[in-house]
Chains A and B, each alone.
Chain A
Amino acid sequence: MDKLFLIIKREYLTRVTRPSFIIATLVTPLAFVAFFVVASLIFSYESDDSKKIAVIDESGILKGALKDEKGLYFKFEQKPLAQLRKNFKDSGYDAILVLPKIDNLFSKDYQVFYYTSGQSTLETEDHIEDRVSDALRDYKIDALKLERKQLEALNTSVDVEPEPIEEGGKDATKLTSAIGAGIGFIMGFIMYMAVFIYGTMVMRSVMEEKTNRIVEVMVSSVKPFQMMLGKIIGVGAVGLTQVLIWAILIPLLITIAQVTMGFNPEQQMPMGPGAPAINPEDTQALVMAAMNEVGNIRWSLILPLFIVYFLGGYFLYSSMFAAVGSAVGDDMGEAQTLTIPIVIPVVLAIYIMIKAVETPTSSLSVFASIFPLFSPIVMPAILASNPPAWQVITSVLVLIGTSIFFVWLSGRIYRVGILLYGKKGSFKEFAKWIFYKE
């Protein structure tokens, strides 16, 4: 036990004091936030060139007014189109907008024509469509003599509001599942990254020790199993340290970026063309509700469970990586071939996780949340949508049991693998090694 601790200490300290680790731990959040800021700026970027547009309103719906905004300047013209087109070059206009007469008030299609020498931009088109559409609506309401208030009453927004069956049960709102899904995605992806980054780290380190021949010295002092376990725990602690630092640094840096640059990511969200303009007050209410929901999630339960799944999944996969590392020595190509069967379930788990976030109660989700090769990635993703207790307990127990079994199994392969030189590792060999007596 004492020696295991010494090994863990060495594995941990040599890694966290390495300059490359410190740089990666600090620079990654910075890069992440920088990417986030740049992406937001790109999406919020608007065309800065101004355009002068002549408007020929044959329909009369604009009533001689179209607001100048976003670099677009409109001027109503009485001259006929043919003349404007003829003198276009000297007119100083960049484009001509023609609104034809409206023949049928009941038609749902209305085409306006936009004459320009250059390319029309999507942004300008969207803007004109929005404004004309609003004006046409007002025109139709008046022309058809409709009551404005009654019309507005027709636009009812329907929400399905989840309610618990039991009285006094926890009331969830519609946002709960959306926030849950979001957090689920993040957790699932952190798990996915952790398994790959730190699992590979374990594998490389085992390969290095075997190539260095330090193992021969080590195994004359400690059991190979202690060596493997020490390495897995040490690297796992490194991973946990890094993820925790990121978990603190990234939100902190985003907040700093928001404050110093005065931009609000909620409002800068990329909107598809034609999306309804969002009322700032609505946005604020939504943010408040979302914050409220994030607060409502049972963090006291989810965070410890997340760490359980992090450790369980990490032990399960990194022990397999360690076994592969012990078998190959310095042949990276061979190592990659042997890790394919480890990578496949991880990738599958990611796909299942994406699906499970949408339908946390489907039988696929329930199965994957218990099956130990998938559960470390799938279960954290659906934890926020409150799966039943039996499912969580079964999943945790199966995962812990399987992890212990895999660590033991990998230890059997490892103890033979690290002392064997020249012989190539294969799955047939692994099976043999497991049953070797000491």
Chain B
Amino acid sequence: MDLILDLQNVVKTYDKKIAVNDVSFGVPRASIFGLLGPNGAGKTSLIRIITTITRADSGKVFLDGQALNSRHPEQIGYMPEERGLYKKMKVGEQLTYLARLKGLSASDTKQALKYWMEKFEVMDWWGKKIEELSKGMQQKIQFISTVLHNPKLIILDEPFTGLDPINTNLLKDEIADLRAKGVSIIFSTHRMEQVEEICDNIVLIDQGQNILNGPVKTIRNSFKQNRFKVDFAEEWKGTLPPGFEVVDQQADSLVVGLAEGGNSSALLQYLLGQGVQISAFNEIMPSLNEIFIQAVEKNHQPVKGQ
């Protein structure tokens, strides 16, 4: 697979505390990758290693096939969870400064600034100080500063907090646009419904370890419990033959668990044979939220051997 970022057995220890414990995963190019985990799991430590802020004690990190080096920050855009800008600096100066620090030439900076500021319709703010802007406006500026230098890899830590629904959608579209242009995005968040919506792949980090990794679809499939939900157009009070376990029965719906090797078509055929009118038939997919909680709880109680 074509990987933009490849971590191999990365270990990082702080003062006797293991922050990252032998973590390996790859981020496919031009995809949106969810970096998930409970608080204090080691996500920030991983991000700091990827952005070359700190160095791993052992293990290897490759960006675009090359071992991580000091020129690489110029190809990465990082938006930290705790946003930060120079409050007294003007928007234009601030963005120019940050872009120049990322190695962009003065003329390239000008062009990129014009493009992005027009795209986000913030050209009027050029001479305004950051402290004069609202939080949502500051967030936009922060996002522009992250993508201004045309990075190959963008790391967004909780990018949607503090944004209204309109700006959230604007940002989501922007992220999709960037992916279409071949940019890879690492997306770190606690909001699982957002992950479900936009991520192609995820890694779940807990206690410094990779406990779950892969494409979102595959993971959800592997966690599904073979349950189906049937909605009836009329009331139905019948019973099911052996091999089908009724998990929940309401007047107009039924949740059925299939036995190992059970077939959903057989269930549907049986119900149709009963002459009842069916309005919907769905497989119940576990939400990432459930998977997250399940996986983390399991990881926290290894001794009990569930």
Q: Quick check: is B160 within 8 A (CB to CB) of the other chain?
A: no
Indicate if the CB atoms of A213 and B82 lie closer than 8 Å. yes
Q: Which residues in A have their C-beta under 8 angstroms from that of B145?
A: 217
In the bound complex, how far is the Cα of B48 from the Cα of A214, in angstroms?
15
Indicate if the CB atoms of A221 and B98 lie closer than 8 Å. yes
Indicate if the CB atoms of B54 and A6 lie closer than 8 Å. no
Q: Quick check: is A10 within 8 A (CB to CB) of the other chain?
A: yes
Question: Measured between C-beta atoms, what is the minimum distance from A100 to chain B in Å?
Answer: 78
Scan A14-25; emit 1 where CB is below 8 A from any B CB, else 0: 100000000000
Indicate if the CB atoms of B55 and A438 lie closer than 8 Å. yes
Q: Quick check: is A137 within 8 A (CB to CB) of the other chain?
A: no
Q: Which of B51, B83, B88 touches A220 (beta carbons < 8 Å)?
A: B51
In the bound complex, how far is the Cα of B104 from the Cα of A3, in angstroms?
11
In the bound complex, how far is the Cα of B278 from the Cα of A91, in angstroms?
132
Q: Quick check: is A86 within 8 A (CB to CB) of the other chain?
A: no
Indicate if the CB atoms of A222 and B101 lie closer than 8 Å. yes
Q: Which of B57, B80, B89, B101 touches A3 (beta carbons < 8 Å)?
A: B101
Indicate if the CB atoms of A220 and B76 lie closer than 8 Å. yes
Q: Quick check: is A219 within 8 A (CB to CB) of the other chain?
A: yes
Q: Quick check: is A437 within 8 A (CB to CB) of the other chain?
A: yes
Q: Which of B15, B57, B74, B78 touches A217 (beta carbons < 8 Å)?
A: B78
Q: Which residues in A have their C-beta under 8 angstroms from that of B18?
A: none
List which A191-232 residues lie within 8 A (CB) of chain B: 212-223
Q: Which residues in B have their C-beta under 8 angstroms from that of A214?
A: 84-86
Q: What is the size category of the interface that chain A forms with chain B?
A: 20 to 34
Q: Which residues in B have their C-beta under 8 angstroms from that of A212?
A: 84-87
Q: Which residues in B have their C-beta under 8 angstroms from that of A431?
A: none
Question: Measured between C-beta atoms, what is the minimum distance from A53 to chain B in Å?
Answer: 68
In the bound complex, how far is the Cα of B103 from the Cα of A216, in angstroms?
17
Q: Which residues in A have their C-beta under 8 angstroms from that of B55?
A: 437-438
Q: Quick check: is A419 within 8 A (CB to CB) of the other chain?
A: yes
Indicate if the CB atoms of B88 and A14 lie closer than 8 Å. yes
List which A354-404 residues lie within 8 A (CB) of chain B: none
Q: Which residues in B have their C-beta under 8 angstroms from that of A213?
A: 80, 82-84
Question: Measured between C-beta atoms, what is the minimum distance from A343 to chain B in Å?
Answer: 28
Q: Which residues in B have their C-beta under 8 angstroms from that of A221?
A: 73-74, 98, 101-102
Q: Quick check: is A432 within 8 A (CB to CB) of the other chain?
A: yes
Q: Which residues in A have their C-beta under 8 angstroms from that of B79?
A: 217
Q: Which of A3, A419, A437 touches B53 (beta carbons < 8 Å)?
A: A419
* Most chain A beta carbons < 10 A, residue from B55, B100, B101: B101
Indicate if the CB atoms of A6 and B97 lie closer than 8 Å. yes
A-B CB contact pairs (8 Å), 21 listed: A7-B101, A213-B80, A214-B85, A214-B86, A215-B84, A216-B80, A217-B79, A217-B85, A217-B142, A220-B51, A220-B52, A220-B78, A221-B73, A221-B74, A221-B101, A222-B73, A223-B70, A419-B48, A432-B15, A437-B57, A438-B54
A residues with a Cβ closer than 8 A to B are 3, 6-7, 10, 14, 212-223, 419, 432, 436-438
Apart from A6-B97, A438-B54: 16 A-B pairs, beta carbons within 8 A: A3-B101, A3-B103, A14-B86, A14-B88, A212-B84, A213-B82, A217-B78, A217-B84, A218-B101, A219-B51, A219-B53, A220-B51, A221-B73, A432-B15, A436-B14, A437-B57
Ranked 10 nearest A-B pairs via Cβ: A213-B84, A214-B84, A216-B80, A213-B82, A220-B78, A221-B101, A220-B51, A438-B55, A212-B84, A219-B53
